[in-house]
Structure 1
Amino acid sequence: AERRDALVQRLSLYKLRAQVEVMPIPDAVFVAWGADVPEGFVADPRLSALGGRRWGDQSETDAVEADWQAHRLALGVPDPTQDALMDKTYPIEADFDLLNGIDFHKGCFIGQETTSRMKRRGTIKNRMMAIAFDGPAPERGAEVLKGELRAGEVMTGAEGRAIALMRLDRMDGDLTVEGRPVRVEKPGWIPDL
């Protein structure tokens, strides 16, 4: 919601001569996950375990935003609105290529050349990964250290788990954040790196 106006402005730049109007819709977005996703929800294209989404003005709920965030973090899925820094993170580092967010057969998107080159050459050095720890989440921007070496940076998190942008060559071994031990938890949907 806090980025809505910026998104409308950005999308409006790309409509060119098309006779369309880009405008925000005030209705809420609802998410359902678990064994029985109710009718009317559209499957999340990123990962089936994320469940489904629908938008509308009313829906009965038995969960709150924190429950959704805990579910997403347990699956190790980055939140593109919070974890991916719009002008600093390459989509491929935010796992968009693994979560159906990048089409390497379609042409012309911002950052296409760099993203395609990283994929083709196998030079992806960083990936967003789930990290686990005891206690509350570290602050956004806290460094993940492997000894004295910087191994990553915390993006978002909750009690016991967070998403961090990790250097792939420094994910193993003894890692710490703010002096506390952490471990990388590679979800099953991420292939061997």
Structure 2
Amino acid sequence: MSERRRGGYHRHRYTIGLPEGATDLPSGVALPLESNIVFMNGISFSKGCYIGQELTARTHHTGVVRKRLMPVRLGSSFTTANLEEGAPLQTQGGKPAGKHRSGLGDLGLSLVRTAHAKEELTVKSRDNKEVALKASVPEWWPEDAKVLN
């Protein structure tokens, strides 16, 4: 696949909030429910055993997922190349709001606290500048998941 086509694919993926690979879903860090794997039918709650099943099932049945992997768009002329993977997100008031995962250009994926998902967020760039960031709710999510705190 050409570099241009690959870039178009990843931009589309980030626009719709679709994670792929170890950068978006780091091993030992990414939880299936926070990563929206359940929305893609990647988890069965009726069969099989897997590592992390107990935590995943308990979280699913309580119905409380406090963070979600969401598509984000950077403000200004910054690109995600200026951001570190795992860079902390903050609210305008300085409260922790999540962590940046990956991106291309002005689009990316971040693990966002659902309580702050509708707010304008900030992240520090590699050169310590504050960058505005806006999360969005993907259209393909189930309706009940689109209602965020």
If the TM-score is normalised by the length of the shorter chain, which range does it land in? 0.7 to 0.9
Alpha-carbon offset, residue 159 of structure 1:
0.8
The farther-off stretch of 156-165 and 97-106 is 97-106
SS of residue matched to 2:24: coil
**Matched residue, 2:131:** 180
Alpha-carbon offset, residue 76 of structure 1:
1.0
- Alpha-carbon distance between aligned partners in 1 of 2:3 and 2:20, rounded to the nearest angstrom: 22
| Residues 144-183 of structure 1, C-alpha deviations (whole Å, 9 max, x = no match) | 1102111010001011111001111122223111211111
**Residues paired across the two proteins, number:** 134
**5+ residue gaps in structure 1?**
1-29, 31-60
Q: Of the candidates 47, 70, 77, which is equivalent to residue 11 of structure 2?
A: 70
Q: Of the candidates 126, 142, 149, which is equivalent to residue 87 of structure 2?
A: 142
SS of residue matched to 1:176: strand
**Higher RCO (CA < 8 A, seq sep 6+):** 2
1:20-99 alignment, distance < 5 Å: 63-99=4-40
- Alpha-carbon distance between aligned partners in 2 of 1:164 and 1:126, rounded to the nearest angstrom: 10
Alpha-carbon offset, residue 62 of structure 1:
9.0
- Alpha-carbon distance between aligned partners in 1 of 2:119 and 2:22, rounded to the nearest angstrom: 30
Letter of the structure 1 residue corresponding to residue 90 of structure 2: L
**5+ residue gaps in structure 2?**
125-129
Alpha-carbon offset, residue 143 of structure 1:
1.3
Greater fraction helix:
2
Question: Percent identity among equivalent residues?
Answer: 28
| Residues 44-68 of structure 1, C-alpha deviations (whole Å, 9 max, x = no match) | xxxxxxxxxxxxxxxxx69532222
Q: Of the candidates 77, 102, 108, which is equivalent to residue 162 of structure 1?
A: 108
- Alpha-carbon distance between aligned partners in 2 of 1:164 and 1:144, rounded to the nearest angstrom: 8
**Matched residue, 2:127:** none
Two-structure CA RMSD over aligned residues (Å): 1.8
Alpha-carbon offset, residue 107 of structure 1:
2.4
- Alpha-carbon distance between aligned partners in 2 of 1:80 and 1:62, rounded to the nearest angstrom: 18
Name the larger-Rg structure: 1
